[in-house]
Amino acid sequence: MPSESPASGWPRPTRPRLSARFAYGLHALVAPRPFYRWLAAQLERHPLLGRWFTAGERITKEQIFGCQMCGQCALPATGYACPMTCPKQLRNGPCGGVSPTGQCEVHPEMRCVWVVAFERSEKAGRGRDLDLLQRPVDRRELGRSSWVNYWQGRDEGLWVAATSADPAPLLYRDPAGAVQ
Amino acid sequence: MTGPAPAAGQAGSPDGQAGTPGGLRAAIASGRFVVTAEIGPPRDANPEAITRKARVLSGWVDAANVTDCQGAKVKLSSLAGCVLARAAGVEPVMQLTCRDRNRIALQSDLLGAAALGIPNVLLLTGDHPRFGDHPEAKPVFDLDGVQLTWTARTLRDGALISGQRLEHPPGWLIGTVENPFAPPASYRARRLAKKVAAGAEFVQTQYVFDVEKFAAWMAELGDLGITERCAVLAGIGPIRSLRVLDILRNEVPGIYVPDDVVRRLHGVPADQVADEGITLCVETIQQVTQIPGVRGVHLMAFGFERGVPDILERAGVGPRAGLAHAQEGP
């Protein structure tokens, strides 16, 4: 691209190529069910199959959402605008550097992906999703299939309701299974 | 539990187990008007640069933030700066950003601050290295500002992010920042609400130049019940030259200077811009003080720390009694 930002090594905010409404609809199609759980297990059992599947996921989601393959998809809670395309990879909303017109502070020619996420969520009637507390990203999952993780139930606990009263929201996912 | 800022000369003495309850906590709890300021550490190893600024502020503020490589430019570390500031008689607030450290280093520095008796921490996402003096650096951002606030609360509750228990948990007061003026306007109060749910007990805002917009944000916070759980300190600072005005408007992300302020500063003779900027700052303090829910101000006067007492005095905010000598109990 000619008018490239100062650096291209940083993630770049990406405007999704799918309408939010359509994306929410698609999500219903991939919701976990016995067949998908079976498929996910097969994909993990057969590495070559798994690699092909993951490559397919990468290509599609890269094209549509600018997916960075974090392996723990936040899209259903962000109006299907990918927060990992934020140069700071913020999972909990926009930073304080958004320009008055809603542009990214690092890539001023791009719209802040969280501004896009906010607008899409609101429009789809899912604005409250942005109030969820998103837990820290597990960096070990980078490059893995988030669909497989989702079907295997590993995405449970990616976020938690931002209740402030007792009990306060727990940062770690499973207090019982916490390492001692 | 001992009093707030330890007297000069006690730097590094870990009085209390970890993170001594400080004067800022007591001030917020008492409900009186709170004043914080900022100390920017130098780009070298000169302790005097911190000590000098701290001495000016001593007795005038409840606490002062020591910034963490502000603007993504290398400075003497925030933790070291906090120890120096406290020795010079100012209760420090350790700023910590997500830009340069992963979750291991962040937790480590937070625990270290507590062990050194730093009574307050302020957690933020941080500027991107793009704007700093080492733009080629790796931007870390392993956690974001909300998650870092949550991490601090988790440590204080007695566990690491991993869930491992802490035998001696830290005890600092947890602060954060918010920019009421950045888009999406109708999300900014809710974003602070997330940070409060994550554990923030006080918040310092970005520079307030647009008082009306700020008041609207405060009203939203009130509706969300946030002002009862989190002390809001309005960020205020003097614009002392047209050059600074230009930098604030065009080079620092996230600062909004409305047109009437620009017109006002351009409308006075060149040699009176500094005075006009200070007058504007004083007026802004007086205006935000009237807004329901505002618990105090956070003064950002970079390179002009010496002007802070004058600004506070003109705004009708007196000195902070007894702070420098640590006699006041919580």
pLDDT (tens digit per residue) in B196-206: 999 999 999 99
Alpha helices in B58-157, H assignment, sequence order: 78-87, 103-115, 145-156
Q: Residue B330's beta-bridge partner residues?
A: none
Q: Determine the Cα angle at B7 with ends B9 and B230, to 5°.
A: 125
Nearest to A62 by CA among A146, A118, A162: A146
Q: Can you give the pLDDT at residue A1?
A: 39
Residues in chain B: 330
**The two three-digit tokens of residue B63, written as one number:** 């606490």
Q: At what angle do helices B242-250 and B259-266 cross, to 10 degrees?
A: 160
Q: Is the pLDDT of residue B13 over 50?
A: no
Q: How far is residue B80 from each of residues A98, A104, B28, B40, B115, measured CA to CA in Å?
A: 31, 33, 25, 12, 13
Q: What is the mean pLDDT of residues B33-46?
A: 97
Q: What is the mean pLDDT of residues A13-33?
A: 91
> Among B194, B203, B209, B224, which would you mutate to test the A interface (most chain A Cβ atoms within 10 Å of its Cβ)?
B194
Q: Does A175 touch chain B (CB under 8 A)?
A: yes
Which residue does chain B place closest to A107, by CA atoms?
Answer: B130
Structure confidence at residue B12 as a pLDDT band (50, 70, 90): very low
Rounded to whole angstroms, the Cα distance separating B185 from B203 reads: 18
* Gyration radius of chain B over CA positions: 19
Place of tokens 């707030």: B4
Q: Can you give the pLDDT at residue A170?
A: 87
Rounded to whole angstroms, the Cα distance separating B283 from B271 reads: 20
Q: Residue B298's beta-bridge partner residues?
A: B36, B235
Phi and psi at residue B268, in whole multiples of 5°?
-110, 155
Cα of A30 to nearest chain B Cα, Å: 29
Instruction: Note whether B125 contacts A88, CB cutoff 8 Å.
Output: yes
Q: How far is residue A18 from each of residues A70, A118, A146, measured CA to CA in Å?
A: 20, 15, 19
Cα of A65 to nearest chain B Cα, Å: 21
Q: What is the mean pLDDT of residues B130-137?
A: 94
Phi and psi at residue B61, in whole multiples of 5°?
-125, 155
The mean predicted confidence, pLDDT, of chain A is 90
Q: Give CA B186 to chain center in angstroms.
A: 24
Nearest to B173 by CA among B200, B205, B144: B200
B157, B164, B178: residue with CB nearest A180? B164
Domains annotated on chain B, with CATH: 21-239+292-311 (3.20.20.220)
Q: Residue B177's beta-bridge partner residues?
A: B204
Structure confidence at residue A85 as a pLDDT band (50, 70, 90): very high
B130, B143, B197: residue with CB nearest A169? B197
The Cβ of residue A168 has, within 10 Å, a number of other Cβ atoms equal to 16
Q: If contacts are CB pairs under 8 Å, which of residues 140-179 in chain B contact chain A? A: 141-147, 150-151, 153-154, 157, 159, 161-165, 177-179
Residues of chain B with Cβ-Cβ distance to A175 below 8 Å are: 163
Q: B82, B22 in Cβ contact below 8 A?
A: no
Phi and psi at residue B299, in whole multiples of 5°?
-90, 120
Q: What is the mean pLDDT of residues B107-134?
A: 97
A96, A114, A180: residue with CB nearest B206? A96
Which pTM was predicted?
0.92
The mean predicted confidence, pLDDT, of chain B is 90
Residues in chain A: 180
Q: Each residue of B79-99: pLDDT tens digit?
A: 999 999 999 999 999 999 999
Q: Each residue of B205-259: pLDDT tens digit?
A: 999 999 999 999 999 999 999 999 999 999 999 999 999 999 999 888 899 999 9
Rounded to whole angstroms, the Cα distance separating B62 from B312 reads: 13
Q: Can you give the pLDDT at residue B320?
A: 79
Q: Can you give the pLDDT at residue A164?
A: 58
**The two three-digit tokens of residue B277, written as one number:** 């900027």
Q: How far is residue A132 from each of residues A122, A128, B123, B157, B286, measured CA to CA in Å?
A: 14, 7, 19, 21, 36
Size of interface A-B (CB pairs under 8 A): 146
Q: Is the pLDDT of residue B328 over 50?
A: no
Q: What is the mean pLDDT of residues B313-324?
A: 75
Which residue does chain A place closest to B103, by CA atoms?
Answer: A136
Q: Each residue of B168-198: pLDDT tens digit?
A: 999 999 999 999 999 999 999 999 999 999 9
Q: Does A131 touch chain B (CB under 8 A)?
A: yes
Q: Each residue of B22-32: pLDDT tens digit?
A: 699 999 999 99
* Gyration radius of chain A over CA positions: 17
Rounded to whole angstroms, the Cα distance separating B98 from B152 reads: 12
Cα of B104 to nearest chain A Cα, Å: 12
Q: Does B55 touch chain A (CB under 8 A)?
A: no
**The two three-digit tokens of residue B292, written as one number:** 């329901």
Residues of chain A with Cβ-Cβ distance to B135 below 8 Å are: 6-7
Residue A53 CA neighbour count, 13 Å, CB half: 19
Q: Each residue of A141-176: pLDDT tens digit?
A: 999 999 999 999 998 899 999 875 666 888 987 655
Q: What is the mean pLDDT of residues A80-108?
A: 96
Q: Can you give the pLDDT at residue B253?
A: 87
Residues of chain A with Cβ-Cβ distance to B254 below 8 Å are: 95-98, 105
Residue B319 CA neighbour count, 13 Å, CB half: 12
Q: Can you give the pLDDT at residue B318?
A: 82
Q: If contacts are CB pairs under 8 Å, which of residues 186-205 in chain B contact chain A? A: 187, 190-191, 193-194, 196-199
Q: Residue B35's beta-bridge partner residues?
A: B297
Q: A104, A112 in Cβ contact below 8 A?
A: yes
Rounded to whole angstroms, the Cα distance separating B291 from A75 reads: 38
Q: If contacts are CB pairs under 8 Å, which of residues 207-246 in chain B contact chain A? A: 229
Residues of chain A with Cβ-Cβ distance to B161 below 8 Å are: 136, 171-172
The residue among B193 and A180 whose pLDDT is bigger is B193
Helix (H, G, I), strand (E, B) or coil at A9: coil
> Among B102, B125, B176, B217, which would you mutate to test the A interface (most chain A Cβ atoms within 10 Å of its Cβ)?
B125
